[in-house]
Each structure stands twice: as C-alpha cells, then as structure tokens.
C-alpha cells in the first residue's frame, strides 16, 4: 500500500523482552520499512498514568528508544520521537474532549477492567483510577489524528482504541469539516504469541520473560531455565509442544530450525542441547543490536539528539493538522 502513512506508539515501560521483539517490534519495523511515511513514538505521557517516579520514567523512555534504534529503526526513514515533545498532541486532546461523549470513555475496556478488578476485590470502583487512565483513548486518538496516520499497527488488545480514534475523527469531521483522517488498525495476528520460560505467553507480568539487552550471560541463564517435560534425549518429542523449539523457530535459519525439528521427532536431541542451540541463535541475532544499545545508553545526549530531530519533523506535521483543526473550530490558525 504505497502512499500511506503508518504510525505506532510504544509505551515507555522499560526494557522490552524477546516476546515484544518478535510479536511487536520486528513486525512494526517491517511495516515501517514498507510504507512511504512512517512515525514511531514513545508514549511517555501514557506511561505517566502509572509511573509516578521521575527517575523510572526517564530511564524507561531511554531504554525503549535505544532498543528500537538497536533493533533497526532507521530515524532517517521513520520519524521517531517522544510524545511529550509534541505539545500539539495535548492541544488536540483538549479539542477532542469537546466532541467526544463521556459514554465512549465509560465503555473503554482498559478502564472497565480496572473498575471490575476493584469491585471483585471489594474495593471502591475507582480505586487507583486516575483521569489519565480514564481518558487514555483520547490521548491515543490525538497521537494518531495529529499525524494524519492512515494505518496503525497494534496488538490485539488495542483494537478498541483504534475504533475510538475513528469515532472521534468522525465526531469532529461531522461537527465541523473533514480535516481529520479516520485511521485503520492493522491488528497483529494472535498467532504471533511468543511463549515465555514457563510456556505461557511471554510477559513481564508473568515474570517468564527474557529481557532483550540484559547482558549475554543473563540471557543465556534464563534460556537454560526454560521449563520442559522430563523426556529423555532419546525419546521422541513433539516440536509443536516445545517452548524451546517454538522460540528457536523465531531466531534460527530455516535449515537449523528443520534440523532441530527432525532431531526432536526422531528422539535424537535432549533438551539441554536444544537450549544451548537456542541460546546461540539468540546471541547471534542480538549481538550487534546489543552493541548499538549499549552505545546509545552510554551516550544519552546522542539519543536525545535523535529524538529531538524526530520531534522537529513530527511537530511540523502536527502543527499543520492543528492549524486546520483550529481554523475549523473557530480559533486562530497557528503562525
Ligand atoms: N496504547 C498503546 C499500547 O499500549 C500505545 C500507544 C499509545 C499507541 N498511543 C498510540 C499505539 C498510538 C498506536 C498509536 O500498546
């Protein structure tokens, strides 16, 4: 789809893990490389709703930024920035507030999930629900609409947020004139679920994850901890049932993957050896990115410079949108 603008945001919640890389980062980078114009930003004002610790927010933001650059994001091609560097996004949030019914926010899955949890625990329904969480979809719509993005690659859990962004573009365009572009979500297939060390979906909340750029030794140690059944090396194993094999399939070349597959089904490989092969394949893929990651983390002014350059480019686009929006609502255009 040539000529489209693709945009996605990532929460600044610290160092991504292997599952984030395979399930989200790699596909987003592939998508960004295909489209004519692409934006990728770090949603630090979304993270602010749950991170009330300046040191942590700052560190998480840098870690996420360095990860994406290390894994191949090309800032010359993809406009790469921090959400907090684009005040126009916050201005559009305010404007969208005026055309968005409160009922839409009430229906938000993320907010409702918190309320349900509170009720189930016998707590006040709004315990720990701040206005940032409640209006999360408004800020997210402003992220997308300010850059006039057509396509938004996101995980399955974000489907409703994209629908809301479409709705809000519609409310605005109907109330005034058509200046906002209703976006389309590119929802990643559920099949991209990457297993964690215990076989469940890899997730920080299960603590079964392998951080991408912990040092190589720590990564290897974690891989050696993958939980398996107690089959002996000479017993036949079903690759489809093996976390080791499933992870290996993401990192190994096709012939290597096939070799492990055949060794498993033929009862010719033990789990210990398979883990070693997996650790080697992971190291091979992450060795270079690790070096790039470390070099950015050791030179934060350089990282800031990349993000600021991206912010300058993104602000030009956002100012253009906001000028049109301001004119449409009866407020002075931006100079
Ligand atoms: N809510 C998204 C997530 O948790 C992150 C995000 C914020 C985003 N703003 C966005 C994604 C705009 C796409 C477009 O994954």
pLDDT tens by residue, 318-327: 999 999 999 9
Residue 1 has pLDDT above 50, yes or no: no
Residue intervals in the chain for CATH 1.10.240.10: 213-294
Residues 325 and 92 sit within 8 Å (Cβ to Cβ): yes
Residue 18 has pLDDT above 80, yes or no: yes
- Using 50, 70 and 90 to split pLDDT, how confident is the model at 2? low
Residue intervals in the chain for CATH 3.40.50.620: 5-193+300-329
In percent, the amount of the chain with pLDDT more than 70 equals 99
- Please provide the CATH number assigned to the domain covering 213-294: 1.10.240.10
Residues 40 and 73 sit within 8 Å (Cβ to Cβ): yes
CA of 6 to the centre of ligand 1 (A): 13
Probe target for ligand 1 pocket from 48, 113, 154, with the most ligand atoms within 8 Å of CB? 154
- The mean pLDDT value for 17-34 works out to 87
- pLDDT value of residue 33: 85
| pLDDT digit string, tens, across residues 271-295 | 999 999 999 999 999 999 999 999 9
What is the value of pTM for the model shown?
0.91
Phi, psi angle pair for 153, to nearest 5°: -75, 125
Residue 251 has pLDDT above 50, yes or no: yes
Look up tokens 């980062």; give the residue. Answer: 25
Residue 135 has pLDDT above 90, yes or no: yes
Probe target for ligand 1 pocket from 140, 188, 203, with the most ligand atoms within 8 Å of CB? 140
- The Cα 192–Cα 171 span in angstroms is 34
Residues 223 and 282 sit within 8 Å (Cβ to Cβ): yes
Residues 245 and 260 sit within 8 Å (Cβ to Cβ): yes
Q: In what order do the strands lie in the sheet with 184-187?
A: 78-82, 37-43, 5-11, 151-154, 184-187
Superfamily of domain 5-193+300-329: HUPs (3.40.50.620)
- pLDDT value of residue 191: 52
Look up tokens 């480019």; give the residue. Answer: 313
Ligand 1 pocket at CB < 6 A: 7-9, 11, 43, 46, 140, 143-144, 152, 154, 158, 161
């Amino acid at each position: 789809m040539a000529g489209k603008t693709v945009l996605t945001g990532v929460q600044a919640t610290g160092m991504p893990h292997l599952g984030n890389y395979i399930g989200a980062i790699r596909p987003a980078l592939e998508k960004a490389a295909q489209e004519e114009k692409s934006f990728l930003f770090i949603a630090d004002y979304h993270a602010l709703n749950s991170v009330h610790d300046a040191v942590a927010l700052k560190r998480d933001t840098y870690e996420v930024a360095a990860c994406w650059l290390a894994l191949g994001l090309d800032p010359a091609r993809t406009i790469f920035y921090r959400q907090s560097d684009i005040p126009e996004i916050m201005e559009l949030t305010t404007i969208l507030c005026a055309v968005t019914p409160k009922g839409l926010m009430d229906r938000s899955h993320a907010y409702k999930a918190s309320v349900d949890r509170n009720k189930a625990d016998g707590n006040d329904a709004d315990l720990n629900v701040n206005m940032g969480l409640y209006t999360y979809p408004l800020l997210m719509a402003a992220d997308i609409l300010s850059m006039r993005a057509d396509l938004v690659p996101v995980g399955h859990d974000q489907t409703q947020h994209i629908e809301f962004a479409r709705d809000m573009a519609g409310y605005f365009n109907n109330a005034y004139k058509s200046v906002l572009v209703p976006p389309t979500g590119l929802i990643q297939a559920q099949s991209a679920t990457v297993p964690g060390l215990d076989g469940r979906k890899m997730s920080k909340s299960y603590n079964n994850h392998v951080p991408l750029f912990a040092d190589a030794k720590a990564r290897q140690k974690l891989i050696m901890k993958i939980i398996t059944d107690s089959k002996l090396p000479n017993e036949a194993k079903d690759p489809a049932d093996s976390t080791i094999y499933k992870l290996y399939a993401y990192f190994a070349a096709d012939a290597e993957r096939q070799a492990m597959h055949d060794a498993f089904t033929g009862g010719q490989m033990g789990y210990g050896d398979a883990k070693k092969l997996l650790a080697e394949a992971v190291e091979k893929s992450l060795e270079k990115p690790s070096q790039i990651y470390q070099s950015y983390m050791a030179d934060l002014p350089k990282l800031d410079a990349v993000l600021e350059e991206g912010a300058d480019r993104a602000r030009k686009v956002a100012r253009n949108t906001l000028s049109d929006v301001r004119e449409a609502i009866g407020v002075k255009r931006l100079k």
